[in-house]
Structure formats: C-alpha cells, structure tokens
Amino acid sequence: MNRRDFLTNATTMALATWASPALPQDAAATRPNILFCLADDWGWPHAGAYGDQVVQTPTFDRLAREGVLFENAFVAVPSCTPCRNSILTGQMFYRLGEGANLWSTLDPKFPTFVGLLAAAGYATGHWRKAWGPGNFKALGYKTDPCGPRAKNFAQFMANRPKDKPFCFWLGTSDPHRPYKKGTGRASGMDLAKVRVPGFFPDTEEVRSDIADYYLEVQRWDRDVGNALAVLEEQGELENTVVVMTGDHGMPFPRCKGNLYDWGVRVPLAIRWGKGINSPGRRVTDFTSLPDLAPTFLAITGTEAPNAMTARSLAYALRSGRAGRIDAAHDMVVTGRERHCPAQEAPSTAGYPARAIRTDRWLYIMNLEPDRWPAGVPENATKGRSYADCDGGPTKTEILTKPGSAATKQAYALCFARRPADELYDVQADPYQLHNLAAQREHGAVLADLRKRLVAYLKETADPRFTDAPVLFDTYLYRGRRAKKRKKKNQ
C-alpha cells in the first residue's frame, strides 16, 4: 500500500468512526465548532501542564485537564510562514513550493482546512496574527487564507450566522520578540526557579530574558482564557473543539529556526467536551501540527483531499487511552529551508536540513553544512551578523562574553557551523548537546534513521529527494530585513 492509499484509508476510517454509535448520540447531528489558538514563538515545555514551575498557564492547563495533552507534539518546520502553511494544508512544508520559506506566500492550488470547512458551510474568521508573514495575494488569494479578519473573537461570535458552525483562528504575536527587559522579574517571577536549557550559560541575564518571554506566554494564556469565557457565555464550549499550541520554539539561540527539540517541539492540548473520551489523558503518540487539518476535517465529517500527507488525530481524542495509543505514531519528521536571508550577501540561500525524531533518537541531516546555521558570523556582512537568530539579551550574552567555558560551549552549539550528520540520544542527553554521529558504536542507529528519514521524504515528494527542481533558495523573500518594531497586543 502506498502512502496516498494509506492516508485515504485512514481518512475513510476516521469518517466512519465519526458516525459510529460509540460517539455521543447528538454528535452526528451537530457538527462541532473549531477554535484554533496559535501562539507566535511559544515552545515546549513552557506550560504548567508540562511541569514548568515558573510560567503560569492556567488556561492551557485547564484544556489539558479537560481534554487531551500531547507529550510529543512537533511542528513540521520551525519558522512562522511555512509552519502556518503546513498547518492549513495538512502537508509537509517542502511540498508547498514558495510557501516553504519565511516571508513567502501560499498557492491557492493547495486546499486548506479553512477553505474546505467554509465550502462545507462553516463561518470562518481570524483575529490578529494568523497566516504569514508574507504576501498571501501574490499567487491569487484575495482574502487571508485563515478567513476574514475580525475585530476580536467576541465580535465574531456576536455577528456570526447562528445557523452555522464556525471555525475561528485565534492568533497573537506573543511571545515573539522584542520584550521589555526586566518585566518578568518585575512581575514577581523568581529567577532562581527559571530552568535554563543546557545549551545556554546559566547567568542572571539569561534567566531574566527567559522570564520576560514567560510574561508574554502568560498574556497569551489569558487571551485564550477570555475566548473560553465567550464560548461558555454563549453555551458553545462543549460543542467546540479548542486547540491551543505554538508555531515553533522560543525566539532564542538554538531554539526557533532549529531542528532540536527547543525549536520544533511545542505544547499541544485539545479540548472537546462532547467528543473526547476520558478527559485528562496524556498521549505520547508522535504528532505533527499538520495533523490538525485532517483531524478538523474528520471530526466535522468533511472529506480530506488526498494531497494531505498528515494523519488525523481523531483516534487519539476518542480512544479513552493514555500513553502510546497507535504504535505507528512512533516518529515525526521535521525540516527547514530559508528562514531569513542570512548567508553572505548577495546570497539569498537558506540553511536546508531535515530531521527524524523517535522516542530515543534525534537524527538531523544538514544538507549544506558549509553554510552558517544561524547566519554569517559577526562583522562578516555589516548589519547581518547571525541574522537567522532573533536578537536579545541571551544572544548578546553569548556573543559578547566569550571568556567562560559555558559561553564558549554555547557559542559552538548556537552559532558555529555544523556537520552533515547529527545524532543525539534524547533520553540520555535531553538538551541534545553531544553529537554521536561520528561514534562507530552508533553507526547502525544512524544508518537506520537515515534510511527511515529518506524513505519518508521520497514518499512525500520532497524536491530535495526526488527529480523535481529544487527552488527554495531562489524564491522571493517578500519582507524587509529591517522589520519595524512589532506592535504589542494589549
């Protein structure tokens, strides 16, 4: 059975399950609403439900308690625009042409769950950051691929057609940089309790920077809490599938834009009062955010197109089981192409890489190891030093205080060139600090993971592993390198 046949059969089974007697009696008659809540730069494990003792996320924790918490949720690509494109289309980013890059566009030829639900009679809309950044009109879209813009969720709910179910994309620019320095500490956070990843120097400056990030995560959590209050007031909460997650890791070195866990692993909780069996479960099946598109279609009884390479998560919501539910969900594939144009000018090349993550192993294939993973070094090109890494106190700490052993290690991990192959034992090395790829005793593991990764990339038509032209480095960058300071959500 080829992958397309498998996906088609899986979708058919999901739709059959939707109409089965095991579901609530009124489920087939009342199509659920969708409230999709996506943060900007919010990564795992920064939520109380995952054990973080500093950041306060009562809304996310509630969704996990009253729904399903996914322990192994990953984005397809740790970059805003391609991540959002992959979520909308249910496809791997490298299948989306120009849409595989940051500050790009999306071709209307790729069906999206928002468009399919609108065609099926759903009222659609979005608030704040949804699709993008980029120019969605470049290839033919007339309106935002996430639906019409609303002033806020409450207004959308007040004005929506009452005879239609709805699909709403609730977005934010939190916790994207810049931050107001020192706000986390000023809010009362105990910097001594902030957990510093092992690839950073453990300094007061870094702890404070993480606390500032936490403060914006908390603001985002309140926004989603306000949306839940609107649903409750209108009696729609129990018939609404509420999904809360982030588009990639936090905007720090070796996180956002990288294929390590702190770049691609994200929080994910799904609440659906009428459709989830045994709420409060923790599921360890590997999940990719593109899986949400076929999930939304399956649970609404909407046919998913064969082009969607992702897999529906409806089974996980309905099973009533915790832990590993489906043995086939034992790995996830991630990757990246161009984030920012950060190589030596006038190059517009990115830093292409692909990775496979299992319970124990992370294997990363760096396809152009002669390039700089975070951009060209300090002063190599004026104004563009390490431009593929967001600026901030942590980045400055690593680059301007090179004397300590911790800072030297951090520089090597965050900014130096990387070998073609990286292999990490994530159980023994959760921060992924020690590359085992060159060690003979791990040769068989590396070969097996490479084989599995390449097979997946070929099956899902990655141009870098087929005969298709590879154009990612040549697509237009539809933004400005010097971006204006973003307006903060109030």
- State both tokens at 441: 């005793």
Candidates 65, 43, 234; CA nearest to 153 is 234
**Rounded Cα–Cα distance for residues 61 and 50 (Å):** 9
Q: Residue 378 CB: number of other CB atoms within 10 A?
A: 11
Q: Which SS3 state, helix, strand or coil, does residue 296 take?
A: helix
Other beta carbons less than 10 A from residue 143's beta carbon:
11
DSSP string, 35-89: EEEEESS--TT-SGGGT-SSS--HHHHHHHHHSEEESSEE-SSSSHHHHHHHHHH
Burial class of residue 377, CB neighbours in 10 A (0-12, 13-18, 19+)? middle
Digitized pLDDT (tens) for each residue of the chain, 490 residues in all? 334 343 433 333 333 333 332 333 333 348 999 999 999 999 999 999 999 999 999 999 999 999 999 999 999 999 999 999 999 999 999 999 999 999 999 999 999 999 999 999 999 999 999 999 999 999 999 999 999 999 999 999 999 999 999 999 999 999 999 999 999 999 999 999 999 999 999 999 999 999 999 999 999 999 999 999 999 999 999 999 999 999 999 999 999 999 999 999 999 999 999 899 999 999 999 999 999 999 999 999 999 999 999 999 999 999 999 999 999 999 999 999 999 999 988 899 999 999 999 999 999 999 999 999 999 996 544 556 899 999 999 999 999 887 788 899 999 999 999 999 999 999 999 999 999 999 999 999 999 999 999 999 999 999 999 999 999 999 999 986 434 333 433 3
Closest to 127 measured CA to CA, from 161, 162, 166, 164: 166
Spell out the domains of the chain, with CATH numbers in brackets.
3-18+32-330 (3.40.720.10), 333-474 (3.30.1120.10)
Separation of alpha carbons 352 and 416, rounded Å = 16
CB under 8 Å to 128, separation ≥6 — which residues?
A: 170, 171, 172, 173, 489
- 318 secondary structure, DSSP code: H
CB atoms within 10 A of CB 329: 20
Question: pTM for this one?
Answer: 0.92
Count of helices and strands (H, E) across the chain: 13, 13
